[in-house]
Chain A
Amino acid sequence: MGRTLADKVYDAHVVRSAEGEPDVLYIDLHLIHEVTSPQAFDGLRMADRTVRRPDLTIATEDHNVPTTDILAPIADPVSRTQVETLRKNCAEFGVRLHPMGDAGQGIVHVIGPQLGLTQPGMTVVCGDSHTSTHGAFGALAFGIGTSEVEHVLATQTLSQRRPKMMAVTVDGELPYGVTAKDLILAIITKIGTGGGQGHVIEYRGEAIRSLSMEGRMTVCNMSIEAGARAGMIAPDETTFAYLEGRPHAPSGADWEAAKEYWRSLRTDDDATFDKEVVIDASELTPFVTWGTNPGQGAPLSASVPDPASFEDPTRRAAAERALEYMGLTAGTSLRDVAVDTVFVGSCTNGRIEDLRAVAEVIKGRKVADGVRMLVVPGSMKVKAQAEEEGLNEVFKAAGAEWREAGCSMCLGMNPDQLKPGERSASTSNRNFEGRQGKGGRTHLVSPAVAAATAVTGRLSAPADL
């Protein structure tokens, strides 16, 4: 019987399998950041263990880092201690680190692909749920907890069971003005936050094939918001073109050998999935969230839903609670929802293409009075490229703040936070209660919608301008 893409990558990494036991799965790349690693390194020390493959491990500072004054010591002593702990651990165990101020620093899921370290057919893990991003290259990539971070550090493997397989096929073409972010928000609303649970999602179909690597990363990034630990897209010429010439991509004869293998990484015609969903891309429009989980979304043209319209009592109760937290009234047009802050950035939408999309909309326009707009590049390399293209000048001329690289307001572990009751349009991935700051209210949007919203001060698409 045929195998799926995920099956093929999984099978190629099984070190040992035995009846009734989980498999021992080899990990090709382990990404580390300051938040979920300190207790894992402590565990190694307590057990007198070493890092088995520091040469397959790379660290960066991202969650805590301030996006201003990055050459000064971090003002928050607790954040500073955490970052310093990472530095000490990397020095002690011989792990390559991109610290604040380094040209290679950035969000862990932005720097892996940028360096060419993320390649088709690899297994990639990180103590961060958005590791699913790397699946855009046809890698099997998923988030792990700190116990598993320690396990990978010590053994370069994980104890795993073969996941179930789910296909999300997106037929047709995305209409003009509809982006990868709109697509994944619509998928999550359709299948729910538990829809992909226990599964690896493979995104397939014409609309997926047409996406750039940046767009594919945005889609795979939010697989976890649909409950799936991993999302994958079969590698193709778009993938190869992105990878060619990157610092850690194969070259010469290796490049040809690698490509030959990568071309075999596709789901066989006779393979079967445990679950399948089909979506018609041509019906999609700009999409935003109105609630406090990423499955509570709607087209921008819709209104805030009436909780009574949900038949399922659990969903109805969740909607009632969400509207109360979000300070929204059922029936309000989403286009009438006014925001205080617009955040552009994160591992979902902090790459160069995202910044270009924002600049295209905001060029020659102004951020609305009373609205604060933060543009936070996903990495220092993205920042440098944006500045080379003059995007920073476009943002600044419009009245937006141009910042240094990091996770920033996606989760507010640094000073970039919403105040209680403040409302944001955010290109990040989670609209959970308090995610961007205690009491903050988040609407998840695409970069283009974020830019248009900054101009009008209300949730808007570029076509509204």
Chain B
Amino acid sequence: MEAFTTHTGRAVPLRRSNVDTDQIIPAVWLKQVSRTGFEKGLFAAWREDPGFVLNQPEYQGASILVAGPDFGTGSSREHAVWALQQYGFRAVVSARFGDIFRNNATKMGLLPIELPEDAVERLQDKIEANPAKEFTIDLERRELRCDEGGVQTFEIDDYTRWRLLEGLDDIGLTLRHADAITAFEQNRESWLPVTA
């Protein structure tokens, strides 16, 4: 996983609620068997509209997506996270995230930042007033800072923060407890089904 410590970049406001993962990456893109090339499918249907915010020249190269509430609801497709990352996003800000999306994002090093809905809207106002404005995300301090000095703190649990800061792979961490897994398996009920 890509480590996340601090990141400075421009942001793009996506003023829509319930941005489900079908919108982030439509199903036709899920037929790929590789992990790359999903940036082209990001918001594929919406990007066909020249008026869509990601098509505006002032937001090209932005790396922080500031979206309406309930971002990443619906399908479990991790392709949504891959598409956002491969397009160039390092963080998504929203008032609420779909549980599976949030989980997938933290496994891949895409930072989901949850802020109150009014704070997200103020942030969107600021970005629209000056799309060139830069923001810095400091995961160590749990801060989202604006280049003119505004600071917004966000919550993230210590363990997830540590794992993101270090860029640690969950499987490796779990395999440290392989003995405990083996011990657990020896005590499972005999009636539990096997597929073999």
Interface residues, chain A, with chain B CB atoms under 8 Å away: 15-16, 20-22, 24, 26, 28-29, 35-36, 38-39, 42, 47, 49, 52, 54-58, 63-64, 76, 78-79, 81-82, 85, 96, 116-117, 119, 122, 127-129, 143-148, 150-151, 154-157, 159, 161, 193-194, 197-198, 224-225, 227-229, 248-250, 254-255, 257-258, 261, 292-293, 295, 314-315, 317-318, 321, 411-413, 430, 432-435, 438
Separation of A194 and B81 alpha carbons in the complex (Å): 19
B22, closest chain A residue (CB):
A432
B174 on interface, CB distance cutoff 8 Å: yes
B119 on interface, CB distance cutoff 8 Å: no
Is the beta-carbon distance between A151 and B31 smaller than 8 angstroms? no
Q: Beyond A55-B194, A55-B195, A82-B31, is A15–B184 a contact (Cβ under 8 Å)? A: yes
B5 on interface, CB distance cutoff 8 Å: no
Distance in Å: Cβ of A58 to nearest Cβ of chain B = 4
Distance in Å: Cβ of A401 to nearest Cβ of chain B = 21
Separation of A225 and B79 alpha carbons in the complex (Å): 19
Distance in Å: Cβ of A312 to nearest Cβ of chain B = 10
Interface residues, chain B, with chain A CB atoms under 8 Å away: 15-18, 20, 22-23, 26-28, 30-35, 45, 68-70, 73-79, 81, 96-100, 103-104, 107-108, 117, 157-159, 170-171, 173-175, 177-178, 180-181, 184-185, 188-196
Distance in Å: Cβ of A12 to nearest Cβ of chain B = 10
List B contacts of A257 (CB < 8 A). Answer: 189, 191
Is the beta-carbon distance between A145 and B76 smaller than 8 angstroms? yes
Is the beta-carbon distance between A154 and B171 smaller than 8 angstroms? yes
Distance in Å: Cβ of B1 to nearest Cβ of chain A = 8
B20, B76, B195: the one contacting A143 at CB < 8 Å is: B76
List A contacts of B96 (CB < 8 A). Answer: 194, 197
Most buried by B among A78, A147, A435: A147
Distance in Å: Cβ of B30 to nearest Cβ of chain A = 5
Is the beta-carbon distance between B193 and A155 smaller than 8 angstroms? no
Is the beta-carbon distance between B28 and A24 smaller than 8 angstroms? no
Is the beta-carbon distance between A432 and B171 smaller than 8 angstroms? no
List B contacts of A434 (CB < 8 A). Answer: 22-23, 26, 45
Separation of A248 and B98 alpha carbons in the complex (Å): 34
